[in-house]
Amino acid sequence: MPGTLPGFLGVAAFGGIKFVGYSLAVSGLKKFEPGITSSATKVAVVRTGLGFILGPLATISLGFLVGLIFSVLFGPSSPSNSDSALLYLYPLLFVVRILVWALVLFLFTRKAPLRPSSLWLFAVLGAVVSSLLDWPGYALAIAAPGQVTFC
């Protein structure tokens, strides 16, 4: 079954949406949390970079894991396996995003550590922002010219 992947412009559009969204989110967070002394741009660069490095790896790994679990539980020939498995993939990615945001916040608040409850609250809020930014980012990525076709 042929498919397409975003080309360079699509990847750049997706990354740009994420970077701008993260910059705005961290700018707002800095008003509530003075322990974040780095610029919002610097935090957004690190978070966007981690997303580009870990995002595809986490998506493929978790997709494989969920597909494997569904194959074991419901059999490989069940036509609804892939659709049902996708319903579980995004919540798992949300958990990964919480962990990545916790890491980023930890790295940028080492000199003035956050209380654990604040760290995890901000990490969850960051994961929500990341998830919401997927919609416009994905829309721009698939609309951008230069898609790569594969079989």
pLDDT tens for 76-101 read: 665 555 566 667 778 888 999 999 99
Please tell me what DSSP assigns to residue 116.
H
Give the mean pLDDT of 11-25: 95
Please provide the DSSP assignment of 25-68 as one string.
Answer: HHHHHHHH-TT--S-HHHHHHHHHHHHHHHHHHHHHHHHHHHHH
Looking at residue 58, its pLDDT comes to 83
Give the mean pLDDT of 29-49: 92
The CA dihedral of 104, 18, 61, 76, to the nearest 10 degrees, is 140
Query: pTM of the entire structure?
Result: 0.85
Per-residue tokens: 133: 């930014």
- Rounded to whole angstroms, the Cα distance separating 136 from 126 reads 16
CA 114 vs. chain centroid, Å, equals 22
Percent of the chain with pLDDT over 90: 49
132 three-state secondary structure: helix
CA-closest candidate to residue 22, choices 6, 46, 52: 46
Side chain identity, residue 74:
F
37 has a pLDDT exceeding 80: yes
The band of 107, judged by pLDDT with boundaries at 50, 70 and 90, is very high
Looking at residue 83, its pLDDT comes to 61
Per-residue tokens: 140: 């721009």
